[in-house]
C-alpha cells in the first residue's frame, strides 16, 4: 500500500524534476556571452557619419553602433576604418589603407 502511494505521488514529481534539470542544461548550453570590447582592436568598421580627429561620428562594427574619433584623417560616411584603441565609451579609428572610398552607398 505504501509502495503504491510512493509510485503515485513521488514518481511524477521525480520525472518533472528530471525534465526540468535536462531543460536547464540544454538552455544553459545555448547561452552566448557577449565578446569583450577589447576584442575590437584591429577589426574593420564602417563609418555611418563623417569621423574626424575633432568630432565624434558613429560607426558600425560587428552589428553594434559605437561613437568614434580618428587620429589624423577624416573618414567619410561609408568608408572603412580600423579600430586602433577601445576607450570606455568610444573607439579611436584610422582609415584602412587602400580602402574603397564609398563602398556602401
Looking up cell 548550453, which residue turns up?
Answer: 29
In angstroms, rounded to a whole number, what is the distance separating the alpha carbons of residues 56 and 65?
13
The reply to whether 15 falls in a domain is: yes
Structural domains in the chain (count): 2
The reply to whether 43 falls in a domain is: yes
Greater pLDDT, 59 or 88: 59
Residue 96: CB atoms within 10 A of its CB come to 14
Can you give the residue range of the structural domain that contains 55?
37-95
Output the domain CATH number for residue 67: 2.40.50.140
Decide: pTM greater than 0.95: no
| Average pLDDT of the segment spanning 71-80 | 92
In angstroms, rounded to a whole number, what is the distance separating the alpha carbons of residues 49 and 100?
16
Task: Give yes or no: residues 17 and 47 share one domain.
Answer: no
The reply to whether 9 falls in a domain is: yes
In angstroms, rounded to a whole number, what is the distance separating the alpha carbons of residues 93 and 75?
9
Q: Which pLDDT band holds residue 32 (cuts at 50, 70, 90)?
A: low
The reply to whether 105 falls in a domain is: no
Q: What is the pLDDT of residue 105?
A: 42
Task: Give yes or no: residues 57 and 85 share one domain.
Answer: yes
Q: Classify residue 22 by burial, with Cβ atoms within 10 Å: 0-12, 13-18, 19+.
A: exposed
Task: Give yes or no: residues 86 and 47 share one domain.
Answer: yes
Q: Identify the bridge partners of residue 88 per DSSP, sorted by sequence position.
A: none
Amino acid at each position: 500500500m505504501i509502495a503504491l502511494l510512493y509510485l503515485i505521488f513521488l514518481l511524477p514529481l521525480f520525472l518533472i524534476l528530471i525534465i526540468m534539470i535536462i531543460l536547464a542544461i540544454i538552455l544553459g548550453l545555448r547561452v552566448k556571452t557577449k565578446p569583450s570590447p577589447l576584442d575590437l582592436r584591429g577589426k574593420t568598421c564602417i563609418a555611418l557619419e563623417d569621423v574626424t580627429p575633432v568630432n565624434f561620428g558613429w560607426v558600425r562594427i560587428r552589428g553594434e553602433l559605437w561613437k568614434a574619433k580618428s587620429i589624423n584623417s577624416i573618414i567619410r560616411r561609408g568608408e572603412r576604418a580600423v579600430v586602433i584603441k577601445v576607450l570606455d565609451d568610444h573607439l579611436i579609428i584610422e582609415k584602412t589603407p587602400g580602402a574603397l572610398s564609398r563602398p556602401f552607398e
